[in-house]
Amino acid sequence: MRNKRWSVVAVVLGGVVALGCGGGGGDTGKVTDVSQPKAAASSAAPEKKTVAAMGAEAVTLDGGVVVTVGKPTKFTPSGTSAGHQRGNSAAVFSITIENKGTEPLDLTLANVTASFGAEGTQAEPVFDSEKGITGGFTSTIATGQKRTAKYAFSAPTKDTSVIAVTVEPNALGDSVALFEGKL
């Protein structure tokens, strides 16, 4: 019985390590422009984008999950926030996940990461209950429903010319939505 438990632990840890090391990276979805009305179809084949613009485009993932990330804005965390260091740059944005699939979607498993600047400085999540940043999604949604949550991140860089955001709606790493924006 003990060996079986250790085997399960080893398999779970192996999966976590694989995801953390980029082993997930499957489908990045289909990017669509949500800021402009639909234009007439052109005869040229559209290029396949893998990174969507924050505040302007949506990503449709396998299973009918649609993700949008709002335009980032400068964020000044309160004195009681966690995850922010003095001197860091901080940004806040909203993320909307819509379930157009056929099964309920557990958003408590959603994972959101961010990096700032041309060098891709890893950003830390900021939790600031005083300003309504409380940790993301907390529910399961049925087909046809959508939820929005605010996220804030802080990074030890002044370069906010690129803010890259990765959204994994189910934390399994099989489908990710990639976004970029700037302050």
pLDDT digits (tens, 9 = 90+) for 61-119: 989 999 999 999 999 999 999 999 999 999 999 999 999 999 999 999 899 999 999 99
Radius of gyration from C-alpha coordinates of the chain: 18
User: DSSP letters of 34-89?
Assistant: -SSPPPPPPSSPPP--SSEETTTEEEEETTTEEEEEPPPEE----TT-BS--TT-E
Distance separating alpha carbons of residues 122 and 166, to the nearest angstrom: 12
Predicted structure pTM score: 0.77
Average pLDDT of the chain to the nearest whole number: 83
CB 123 within 8 A of CB 92: no
For 113-141, what is each residue's pLDDT tens digit? 999 999 999 999 999 999 999 989 999 99
Task: Give the model's confidence band at 9: pLDDT under 50 very low, under 70 low, under 90 confident, else very high.
Answer: very low
Output the pLDDT for position 135: 86
Q: How far apart are CA 175 and CA 124, in angstroms?
A: 22
Q: Write the single-letter amino acid at 39.
A: A
Architecture of domain 26-181: Sandwich (2.60)
